Structure 1
Amino acid sequence: MDEEDDLWKQFLEQDDDLTVPSQVLSDSYLVGFVIANIVGLRYYSGTINGRELVGLVREPLNPFDPNAIKVLNTRSVQVGHIERAAASVLAPLLDSRIISTVEAIVPKPPPRGRNPYRLPCQIHIFALPDAIPTVQCAVADGGLQLFTLDDQEFALSESVIVKEGASRNKAKERRKIDEIFALVGKDGKGIEPYEPPSDVIISELFPHQKEGLGWLVSRENSRDLPPFWEEEDGVFLNVLTNYQTSERPEPLRGGIFADDMGLGKTLTLLALIASNMPGNGVDSSSVEDVGSSFGDRKRKSSMKRAVSSRKKRKAVVDNDGNTDSKTEALGPKATLIVCPSSVLSTWITQLEEHTKLGALRVYLYHGERSKEVEVLLRHDIVLTTYKTVALDFSSSRSPLKEIEWLRVILDEAHVIKNFASQQTKAVVDLKAERRWVVTGTPIQNSSYDLFSLMAFLRFEPFSIKSYWQSLIQRPLDQGSSSGISRLQALMASISLRRMKESQNGSKRLVGLPPKTVETCLVELSSEEREQYEKIETEAKSTLREYINANTILRNYSTVLHIILRLRQICNSVALCPSDLKLLLSSDIIEDVSNNPDLLNKLSSMLQDGDDFDCPVCLSPPTKTIITCCAHIFCQTCIFKTLKTLNPRCPICRHPLSKSDLFSALPPKSPDENLKQSSGIPISSKLLALLNLLSSTMQKPSMKSVVFSQFRKMLILLEEPLKAAGFRVLRLDGSMSMKKRMEVINEFGSNKMNSPTVLLASLKSAGAGINLTAASRVFLVEPWWNPAVEEQAMDRVHRIGQREEVKVVRLIVRDSIEERIMELQERKKKLAGGIFAKKNAKEQREMRVDDIRTMLRL
């Protein structure tokens, strides 16, 4: 892997599956293909009926063969395994990431009327250019024949996707697939508004919420074939993969609800739960579906068939909220809502404000909770968190796993964008009739963020990684002109996205007051500038050595530390220790086992900032482990790595064993008494913030939210703000859910002498909560990902806001913060699809230039 590319991936939080990072995919080349047999067909229910693409999935914990590679058809049903001889060659290459990815196709259907013991398939191998000789040697040594692009036999390749990237007829083949995508979502129908039941929902919905509700209800009651399916003479064909079946595919009852932040998605979803409950009399035949069929021609045929005759439970709710135990038949009734812990309070508040008391029975599955299935099924809504679902799935007995839910709603669903994380795998495995992804930022970093959402929705074939990579990701990464149009067609078929205002800002979807965003440039004092320049000079010298020696990845933690300290100096010298130079020496970072002081300093570094995530699960580390090569992981994540055949550090590929892992020091409680009286003068940024906040004191009722990524900075701000006359509250990740709710409620109070300033952690308060009591937002420092900042702003600028909202970014002039702002702009273009216009080489060069620009190298 290109070391600078991987470093850049970590900087910008490219949250891809650890085994196949998107940067590797974009720079990979087709090495060739091998022919291998699929075996064990008689032991699995999956079938192959034509010339079809199949999915290959590594199965390292298979008790019969640690090299196992299972084969899935387009319905995600297992067909068999790759024969042992071929798997023993390919598996080590995949595990070591020498091979970026593999794709397979069955070139010929099995003989009619026969159930073969084995079935040949072509496995196409992709790798980075530097790894191609290694792959060729390993395949040859393993006794397999590799057909390369230079071989005459390469014409045997049957893969349309491979031809798309490698053959002379690629334009013709690509056009064929693009014509298929062009048919998706072209039904021409608008969204019909829908009124929720007034005996449950007591609030009046805005027009856009009624339209959103109509879209949600229509999708849940759809009778259409899923996108990319056709029917002819009772046979159903997936036109992308050539999979055929006589069994009608189930409609895709769900999708991505991606309205802009602050448009009232939570209330709309509560209206959906109330409107579309079993036994409520909703006639699915009277509700039109919008955009989920494969073209108008196939709509007429698919609408003639009924989808299901499943019996449904009739829930009778009396005035006290008690459910009658008499039911016609047990069937899915309850809705499971999964959200971050910081958002639980929002759902509870919305239920209290917008639903009739007792009309919906709600169970909070969090903390002390029942393990009885019957208890959960007696409720209409079960509220839980991603962390709780992940913990439950690791236990042997979990009601969440046993229940087939009527619907599962993932709120703030962008948190599952890393498919390798435990919480993502847990929610994907939930059983449900209807599945909803809810997020105002479905793409935070790259289009690869969407793969986990497809896996949860079980949108075939895109829920299988190999199909996603070949049909969507690779055309995008290679700069194909068709890549972005495919992604747009795909999203149009399953998602609803409305913005608060049009692109030019002239038309607003809802009557919200305007929001303005300003940048306040801060000049450092002469002492602060001297300290900043000193550390930046040392940092530049060290990084030049890493770049010249090609050892950036090996010294990854040092690089992160340099970035962190430069950012903290911009806030206050008090945040940065004076002994930074120890961590800037390139000859001692290699092995922390020989340097206990260095291990302690790395542990201390973790406690200084809220922005350090485990690079595997991309969440704040739990039971933090530091490897001998100075990389930081969750204990659970790195232990899984040790179970592989050739355990190596996921960052630098250094060989690892259990003796190479070290526990970080237990986190110290925040220093509540950290004050400016330590002899360090008030920082320039703090003075600028105090000046900006002083203008709000002219209006006693005006409230402000101050966001920072550093908990120590929030603590540092408290005393000076209180001394200036502000009534201050703090909200950060160290607080329990109960404490957070108390802080939010207290801040939202309009009583006399209520708090006027909320000091909030960007990660803990940046999503899912309502802070409309405030009308001023201050971002103390910039964050890599602009979507995170947008979420923080929209905690204030959302439905319920009555005042004009003013957002101020505090940026130190001529510092790393200005360069981070430049990177933000590039991230916005990335999320907007402009990255698809560049080829892989241009993207790689841009990333290298950005790394140097950030530190003025």
Structure 2
Amino acid sequence: MDLGEDTDLSQPYTQSQQEGEPHLLGFITANIVGLRYYSGTVNGREMVALLREPLNPHDPNAIKVLNTRTIQVGHIERTVAAALSPLIDSELITVEAIVPNRRSKTNRFRLPCQIHIFAPLPSFPTVSQLISESGLHLITQNDASFTLSDSVAVKETRADSRFKNVDEIFRLVDESLTAKERVSHALEPPESIVRSKLMEHQKEGLWWLLNREKSEELPPFWEQGEGGEFVNVLTNYSTCVKPEPLRGGIFADAMGLGKTLTLLSLIALDKCGGDGKKKGKKRRKIESGESSATLVVCPPSVFSTWILQLEEHTVPGSLTTCMYYGDRRAKNAEELMDYDLVLTTYSTLSMEEDAADSPVKKVVWRRIILDEAHIIKNSNARQSKMVISLNAKSRWAVTGTPIQNGSLDLFSLMAFLHFEPFSIKSYWRSLVQRPLNQGLQSGLSRLQVLMAAISLRRTKDNGLLGLPPKTIETQYVELYSEERELYDRVKEEAMLLMRSFNNGTNNFPVVLSMLLRLRQICTDLALCPNDLAMTFRSTNLEDVSNNPQLLQKLVEMLQDGEDFECPICISPSADIVITRCAHIFCRVCILKSLQSSKSRCPLCRQALSESDLFSAPVESSKADSTASSSSSDKKLSSKASALIKFLKESREQNPAANSVVFSQFRKLLVLLEAPLKEAGFKTLRIDGSMTAKQRANVIDQFQGSKGDGPTILLASLRASGAGINLTAASTVYFMEPWWNPAVEEQAMDRIHRIGQKEAVKIVRLVAQDSIEEKILMLQEKKKELARETFRKRGSDSGGMSYKDLSFLMSME
């Protein structure tokens, strides 16, 4: 779990998160049944994936079994599933399975497997007792038969000539990649379609993209055996059918390097036959039933960017384009197949995830491009499931920040790319995530090999663009006495609640709210309610699920920031609700989910009805509408005073210089308007409450401002993080550090990008001796993982752990 902009604030706070990573407790032997009903096959010593199926009409405890190709093999027998499913659903254990070499040939309808059980160390006694009470025999390290585990055998007896050690397999793949030239050629797009000149790195990127789409090689980790069969050397799955090449990958160039133009050039090349020379009109529908159309999926803020890039860089009419968005959606698949380019949004596809007649589902796309692909980082979200399920010949995940919170972000990209076996969560967890979480060097090495195999990453640090320099400085601000007094009081309450976790109380949402309030105090006391301390103290450490009034208050608090993302649609919302089980969703998403999930919470599976949903009081949404008019009567906060001081100094040096002030709090942007006006500055504001058209108008005004026009843009990080150009500014101020460093980097790159003529100065305002200093340290941890992941041959928790929370609260 993470507590930032990308946070799933509604995830349950489990013992696993408190006490560290799960460890191998032992294994049980079980049978895979129902083989006759499914087409999936497995070989001896092959890993298989176990997937809970709570909505199975025949058995709510069902656990289905998938092979490496994600084809169902069968189900775990009912008695074992009945014992393990409650433990899996409560997140007390995770499970992995392998089919051993020793197989009975007398029963064609049952297949033995070993189910390895992982749990936090403090939970070992509880889990062992529960499994024993269910009648299952758990084989632990104290049993002599523990050495029969094929999981242990994989690590200890790989000297067997038939098998290689897992890290040896990764090393050989790495050597194979090193032997090949990655990007060694430059390719020009057809002038009949693309009228702009590509920079050298874009031409090389275009060659890499086209080369991967034309690949006929076996996917990484597949080999052809002596008998002609094809074997996945990681899972031991074999087949007589040659696996499809992995056509696509992660296009991870840093923001501002012109990825959109490079992708448009790829589409243009494809239309011209791949060599840029053929000028004839390519037929729309390929004989096999595939379409020649490219589907581009992007957030609404980037939708207009694609349209502008098409207008700026391509010959008018050369690429036929369809907007599949809002009321402009096509009614049938045949209509979509008649275009070169179909533009849509993640939210549009999310709404069609359950629609069997969705035209997008019926098309076999020439390629799918996910722009800002990190948006699908939660593989369980509706939009993620939708894009993963779509049919395409080539798949591209395009993002300058593929890792935002941790390495687990990459799993969804693997699932979208259909990169087997890493596209199955149990394999990803076993082969990559667990060694990373345990701080093993092998985990980072494996991640680096995977990225080298499927991604292209260039940064502006390489001097590819010749941009003016960018400097980043941190200015520490000392809180005023009244700010410090309230900060210390709230921090004391938060620490008390943190300790209450050990007593089993359900106060995690309260702690999240307190962390938010601590951050607000560091920025401006006006962001906090007058009864702040009483709000927290009134909980008396009770279970929040029994206090509807408190639940409503928590929703009101969480709406004050930009931290919230619905775990179903992975999008921010102005209309959020909290459930009695203390999980937070968009109102629309949870109501729809309750209709299709037998009235259970999608996260914890507890029974839930509409009467168990709580929202913030209506009056709270009006609180900041009058903030600007009354702000002149209030004393400026320590940070607001520092900001105005720096802006005045900058104006003295260059009166014409433009600045952008970023904050995650919309109310703060409103509060700053009056004091900035009094200081003689003309401002514009852009935030998430504005429509796309309103935001575009503000950006146009700011980019075109000259002479006596506005020189300061007050901008919400949410509304300004991606898809816009703010090169009119040369100075950037961050009013508070963000949980997720990638969001800050996205915001910086709105200014430091192609078209910037001036040196760019980034100023981060950080409250001294506060939680903000700790946030900077956690940021550095995430940035280091992102850097190391793409480094040519560490550890990461993938989220906010109890240890991280304790660190933030200075409890250790």
Q: Is the 8 A contact 2:27 2:139 kept in 1?
A: yes
**Match of residue 627 from structure 2:** 674
Query: What is the TM-score normalised by the length of structure 2?
Result: 0.90
Q: Is the 8 A contact 1:12 1:445 kept in 2?
A: no
1:224 lines up with 2:217 in the alignment? yes
Deviations along 1:411-454, one digit per CA (max 9) or x if unpaired, are 11111111122221111111111100111111112111111110
Unpaired runs of 5+ residues, structure 1, are 1-5, 287-313, 318-322, 503-507
Q: Which among 85, 108, 113 is matched to residue 116 of structure 1?
A: 108
SS in 1 for 2:139: coil
Q: Which among 391, 413, 420 is matched to residue 351 of structure 2?
A: 391
SS in 1 for 2:746: helix
Task: Please identify, of 444-453 and 726-735, the stretch whose mean Cα deviation from structure 2 is larger.
Answer: 726-735
SS in 2 for 1:681: coil
Q: Is the 8 A contact 2:6 2:564 kept in 1?
A: no
**Match of residue 30 from structure 2:** 36
1:332 lines up with 2:285 in the alignment? no
Change in Cα spacing, 1:214 to 1:173, as seen in structure 2 (3 Å) is closer
> Separation in 2 of the partners of 1:362 and 1:390?
21
Identity %: 53
Please report how far the alpha carbon of residue 176 of structure 1 lies from its aligned counterpart in structure 2 after TM superposition. Answer: 4.1
SS in 2 for 1:433: strand
Task: Please identify, of 707-716 and 56-65, the stretch whose mean Cα deviation from structure 2 is larger.
Answer: 56-65
Please report how far the alpha carbon of residue 725 of structure 1 lies from its aligned counterpart in structure 2 after TM superposition. Answer: 3.8
Deviations along 1:97-132, one digit per CA (max 9) or x if unpaired, are 121333333434675xx9922211111111112322
Please report how far the alpha carbon of residue 73 of structure 1 lies from its aligned counterpart in structure 2 after TM superposition. Answer: 1.0
> Separation in 2 of the partners of 1:714 and 1:761?
8
Q: Which among 94, 100, 111 is matched to residue 100 of structure 1?
A: 94
SS in 1 for 2:489: helix
1:559 lines up with 2:516 in the alignment? no
**Match of residue 145 from structure 2:** 153
Change in Cα spacing, 1:542 to 1:810, as seen in structure 2 (3 Å) is closer
> Separation in 2 of the partners of 1:327 and 1:97?
47
Q: Is the 8 A contact 1:237 1:243 kept in 2?
A: yes
**Match of residue 262 from structure 2:** 268
> Separation in 2 of the partners of 1:196 and 1:616?
40
Q: Is the 8 A contact 1:106 1:120 kept in 2?
A: yes
Q: Is the 8 A contact 1:49 1:110 kept in 2?
A: no
Query: What count of residue pairs does the alignment treat as equivalent?
Result: 799
**Match of residue 193 from structure 1:** 186
Q: Is the 8 A contact 1:48 1:110 kept in 2?
A: no
SS in 1 for 2:274: coil
> Separation in 2 of the partners of 1:588 and 1:548?
10
**Match of residue 80 from structure 1:** 74
> Separation in 1 of the partners of 2:708 and 2:220?
57
> Separation in 1 of the partners of 2:157 and 2:483?
51
> Separation in 2 of the partners of 1:657 and 1:222?
51
Q: Which among 330, 344, 348 is matched to residue 303 of structure 2?
A: 344
**Match of residue 763 from structure 2:** 808
Change in Cα spacing, 1:833 to 1:488, as seen in structure 2 (3 Å) is same
**Match of residue 301 from structure 1:** none
Q: Is the 8 A contact 1:729 1:743 kept in 2?
A: yes
Give the aligned residue type for 1:217: L
Query: What is the TM-score normalised by the length of structure 1?
Result: 0.85
**Match of residue 749 from structure 2:** 794
Give the aligned residue type for 1:148: T
> Separation in 1 of the partners of 2:427 and 2:31?
20
**Match of residue 502 from structure 2:** 550
> Separation in 1 of the partners of 2:129 and 2:170?
36
Q: Which among 663, 668, 671 is matched to residue 716 of structure 1?
A: 671
**Match of residue 468 from structure 1:** 428
**For 1:37-436, what aligned pairs fall within 5 Å after superposition?**
37-108=31-102, 116-159=108-151, 163=155, 173-191=165-183, 192-232=185-225, 233-277=227-271, 280-282=272-274, 330-369=289-328, 370-436=330-396
Please report how far the alpha carbon of residue 246 of structure 1 lies from its aligned counterpart in structure 2 after TM superposition. Answer: 0.8
Q: Is the 8 A contact 1:104 1:121 kept in 2?
A: yes
Please report how far the alpha carbon of residue 26 of structure 1 lies from its aligned counterpart in structure 2 after TM superposition. Answer: 6.0
> Separation in 2 of the partners of 1:75 and 1:434?
18
> Separation in 2 of the partners of 1:774 and 1:342?
20
Give the aligned residue type for 2:765: L
> Separation in 2 of the partners of 1:420 and 1:215?
31
Give the aligned residue type for 2:146: F
> Separation in 2 of the partners of 1:154 and 1:182?
33
* Structure with higher RCO (Cα < 8 A, 6+ apart): 2
Task: Please identify, of 243-252 and 398-407, the stretch whose mean Cα deviation from structure 2 is larger.
Answer: 398-407
1:702 lines up with 2:657 in the alignment? yes
SS in 2 for 1:54: strand
Q: Is the 8 A contact 1:642 1:658 kept in 2?
A: no
SS in 2 for 1:675: helix
**Match of residue 531 from structure 2:** 579
**Match of residue 297 from structure 1:** none
Please report how far the alpha carbon of residue 746 of structure 1 lies from its aligned counterpart in structure 2 after TM superposition. Answer: 2.7
Please report how far the alpha carbon of residue 263 of structure 1 lies from its aligned counterpart in structure 2 after TM superposition. Answer: 0.9
**For 1:475-624, what aligned pairs fall within 5 Å after superposition?**
475-502=435-462, 508-525=463-480, 529-544=481-496, 546-547=498-499, 550-551=502-503, 554-585=506-537, 587-588=539-540, 590=542, 597-614=549-566, 618-621=570-573, 623-624=575-576
Q: Is the 8 A contact 1:707 1:780 kept in 2?
A: yes
Task: Please identify, of 596-605 and 448-457, the stretch whose mean Cα deviation from structure 2 is larger.
Answer: 596-605
Q: Is the 8 A contact 1:48 1:109 kept in 2?
A: no
> Separation in 2 of the partners of 1:159 and 1:542?
42
Give the aligned residue type for 2:312: E
Q: Is the 8 A contact 1:455 1:462 kept in 2?
A: yes
Give the aligned residue type for 1:626: I
SS in 2 for 1:407: strand
SS in 1 for 2:473: strand
SS in 2 for 1:145: coil
Deviations along 1:335-394, one digit per CA (max 9) or x if unpaired, are 111111111121111111111111111112111123322222221111111111111213
Unpaired runs of 5+ residues, structure 2, are none
Deviations along 1:173-217, one digit per CA (max 9) or x if unpaired, are 455444444445233314111111111111111101111111001
Change in Cα spacing, 1:638 to 1:345, as seen in structure 2 (3 Å) is same
Please report how far the alpha carbon of residue 734 of structure 1 lies from its aligned counterpart in structure 2 after TM superposition. Answer: 1.3
Please report how far the alpha carbon of residue 82 of structure 1 lies from its aligned counterpart in structure 2 after TM superposition. Answer: 1.4
> Separation in 1 of the partners of 2:387 and 2:243?
22
Please report how far the alpha carbon of residue 723 of structure 1 lies from its aligned counterpart in structure 2 after TM superposition. Answer: 3.9
Please report how far the alpha carbon of residue 849 of structure 1 lies from its aligned counterpart in structure 2 after TM superposition. Answer: 4.9
Please report how far the alpha carbon of residue 711 of structure 1 lies from its aligned counterpart in structure 2 after TM superposition. Answer: 0.5
Change in Cα spacing, 1:243 to 1:138, as seen in structure 2 (3 Å) is same
